[in-house]
């Protein structure tokens, strides 16, 4: 595993993530202990929403006395995460190209930007000639977005609405275009897709478009002995003490990191494509079979998931991949370590299935069930493992 070798993350993110319990993922929420977790899903969901969005009684100004603890609960209110996203040029430039090179999609249209953050996508749309843009943002960053819109002279075209998309009143009955950057790690972590689908069902005019409209999840396998040793086996003996109970937990948490393409041992398989313009919320939970074929003799320590998104309504197809063979993005890849080390020969296949669903207690978390089998010359393995993105 190559840690952040060629991506555009900065130290700020490393500092930022240290507020969380789980260093594996971007947006972290407080770990509910067993008792709290037992209080039921509705309460947990509300707590999760509040951790991502501004509290219902949130102030309209960005308070100067905000502490790191506040940022922990309201991570998108801190500019650092927006800096990281804006500096992810694969991400931001793709949206810019989609809008500027396909003005026919935006010009004279009413646009809804779901989760506007700093307002960058709204500004692109306004510059491309949108009739009006509604920029909805639930965190305190909405106040900054208002200032940014004003400073750039777009106050008459962009209306920033502070609040959750599920709770705001939109001052128009319908919109022609919904744009959003909703993708989380492993595509689905954070569960913001549901908010986009909610907006689509409520406000998108018949024949309206959603940008992006396609998202696909892929799976491949890697050799990763060094990093597995460092992150997983490490717990077997820590300064001579057995901490292997933590190893079990570490195995269950997929690691978000940049994979060096030299580590890839098999081909890649498409697990699932989602059509954002048509799918229902339930389609984000699925079971997909897979079959990946070794391209050389090697050892396999982990399966790796990544996603692509595309904007098929463009004049020429535009999109980007977060795969290990593409330019790195802040989403990196999602690595799931295997209990077994698979000794695989060129041409042998790993077959199995992956089930993905939102966690019932904590709907922004993602549960993954991975079943895999290898009936090879040197390894005969059949196993099911469970992971949780949190």
Ligand X SMILES: C[S@@+](CC[C@H](N)C(=O)[O-])C[C@H]1O[C@@H](n2cnc3c(N)ncnc32)[C@H](O)[C@@H]1O
Give catalytic residues, as residue numbers.
181, 190
CB of 194 to ligand X, least distance (A): 8
Which of 164, 214, 269, 272 forms a contact with ligand X (CB under 6 A)? 164
Kindly tell me which of 52 and 125 has the beta carbon lying closer to ligand X. Answer: 52
Non-local (6+) Cβ contacts of 336 within 8 A are 254, 302, 303, 304, 305, 368, 370, 385, 387
Nearer to ligand X, 142 or 370 (CB): 142
Q: How far is the CB of 363 from ligand X (least distance, A)?
A: 12
Q: How far is the CB of 20 from ligand X (least distance, A)?
A: 16
| Contact criterion met (CB below 8 Å) for 57 and 163 | no
Which residues have CB under 8 Å from 187's CB, separation 6+? Answer: 215, 217, 307
Strands 175-180 and 204-211 come out as parallel
Cα–Cα distance measured from residue 250 to residue 233, given in angstroms and rounded to the nearest whole number: 10
The least CB distance from residue 190 to ligand X, in Å, is: 7
Pick out residues in 178-217 that bind ligand X (CB under 6 A).
Answer: 181, 192, 195
Kindly tell me which residue out of 121, 292, 314, 350 binds ligand X, with binding defined by CB under 6 A.
121
Q: In whole angstroms, what is the distance from residue 383 CA to residue 374 CA?
A: 9
| Closest CB 52 distance from ligand X, rounded Å | 5
| Residue number with CB closer to ligand X (53 or 374) | 53
Return all residues near 284 (Cβ < 8 A) that are at least 6 apart.
Answer: 188, 191, 193, 194, 274, 356, 358
52 binds ligand X (CB under 6 A): yes
Stretch touching ligand X by CB under 6 A, among 6-14, 132-140, 206-214, 259-267: 132-140
Binding residue for ligand X, selected from 20, 117, 212, 352, defined by CB under 6 A: 117
State how far the Cα of 362 lies from the Cα of 389, in Å rounded to an integer: 11
Cα–Cα distance measured from residue 95 to residue 90, given in angstroms and rounded to the nearest whole number: 9
Candidates 102, 139, 334, 362: give the one binding ligand X (CB under 6 A).
139
Q: Please, which residue, 118 or 362, has the CB nearer to ligand X?
A: 118
Note the Cα 192 to chain centre separation in Å.
9
- Rounded to the nearest 10°, the torsion over CA 358, 362, 365, 371 is -50
Q: Is 137 in the site for ligand X (CB under 6 A)?
A: yes
The Cα–Cα gap between 379 and 245 comes to 26
Of these, 115, 208, 254, 323, which contacts ligand X (CB under 6 A)?
115
Q: Which of residues 338-377 bind ligand X (CB under 6 A)?
A: none
The residue among 294, 305, 320 whose CA lies nearest residue 220 is 305
Size of the site for ligand X (CB under 6 A): 23
Report the distance separating Cα 328 and Cα 321, nearest Å: 9
Q: CB-wise, 94 or 266, nearer to ligand X?
A: 94
Task: Tell which one of 133, 138, 350, 370 touches ligand X (CB under 6 A).
Answer: 138
Q: Does 120 bind ligand X (CB under 6 A)?
A: yes
Q: Which of residues 86-105 bind ligand X (CB under 6 A)?
A: 86
Instruction: For residue 154, count other CB atoms closer than 10 A to its CB.
Output: 20
CB of 214 to ligand X, least distance (A): 18
Q: Mask of contacts with ligand X, 60-89, x by CB under 6 A?
A: ----------------x-----x--xx---
> CB within 8 A of 142, min separation 6: which ones?
54, 116, 160, 161, 162, 163
Rg over CA atoms, the chain? 22
For ligand X, the binding residues (CB under 6 A) are 52-53, 76, 82, 85-86, 115-118, 120-121, 136-139, 141, 164-166, 181, 192, 195
């Amino acid at each position: 595993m190559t840690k952040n070798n060629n991506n555009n993350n900065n130290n700020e993110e490393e500092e930022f993530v240290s507020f969380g319990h789980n260093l594996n993922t971007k947006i972290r929420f407080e770990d509910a202990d067993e008792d709290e977790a037992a209080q039921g899903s509705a309460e947990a969901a509300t707590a999760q929403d509040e951790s991502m969005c501004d509290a219902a009684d949130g102030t309209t100004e960005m308070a100067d006395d905000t502490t790191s603890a506040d940022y922990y609960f309201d991570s998108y209110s801190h500019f650092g995460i927006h800096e990281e996203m804006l500096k992810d040029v694969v991400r931001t430039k793709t949206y810019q190209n989609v809008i500027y090179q396909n003005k026919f999609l935006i010009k004279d249209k009413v646009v809804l930007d779901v989760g506007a953050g700093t307002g960058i996508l709204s500004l692109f749309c306004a510059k491309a000639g949108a009739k009006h843009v509604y920029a909805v943002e639930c965190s305190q960053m909405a106040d900054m977005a208002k200032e940014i819109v004003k400073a750039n002279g777009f106050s008459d075209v962009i209306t920033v609405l502070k609040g959750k998309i599920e709770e705001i009143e939109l001052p128009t009955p319908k919109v022609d275009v919904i744009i959003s950057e909703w993708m989380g790690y492993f595509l689905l972590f954070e569960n913001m897709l549901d908010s986009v689908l909610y907006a689509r069902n409520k406000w998108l005019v018949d024949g309206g478009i959603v940008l992006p409209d396609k998202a696909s999840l892929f799976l491949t396998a890697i050799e990763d002995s060094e990093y597995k040793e460092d992150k997983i086996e490490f717990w077997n003996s820590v300064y001579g003490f057995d901490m292997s109970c933590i190893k079990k937990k570490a195995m269950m948490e997929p690691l978000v990191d940049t994979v060096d393409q030299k580590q890839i041992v098999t081909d890649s398989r498409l697990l699932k494509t989602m059509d954002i313009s048509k799918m229902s919320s339930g389609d984000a939970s699925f079971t997909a079979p897979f079959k990946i074929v070794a391209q050389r003799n090697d050892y396999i320590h982990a399966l790796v998931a990544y996603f692509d998104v595309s904007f098929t309504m463009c004049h020429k197809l535009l999109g980007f991949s977060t795969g290990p063979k593409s330019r790195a993005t802040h989403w990196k890849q999602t690595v799931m370590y295997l209990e077994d080390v698979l000794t695989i020969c060129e041409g042998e296949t790993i077959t199995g299935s992956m089930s993905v669903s939102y966690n019932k207690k904590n709907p922004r978390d993602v549960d993954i069930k991975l079943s895999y089998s290898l009936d090879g010359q040197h390894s005969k393995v059949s196993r099911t493992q469970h992971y949780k993105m949190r």
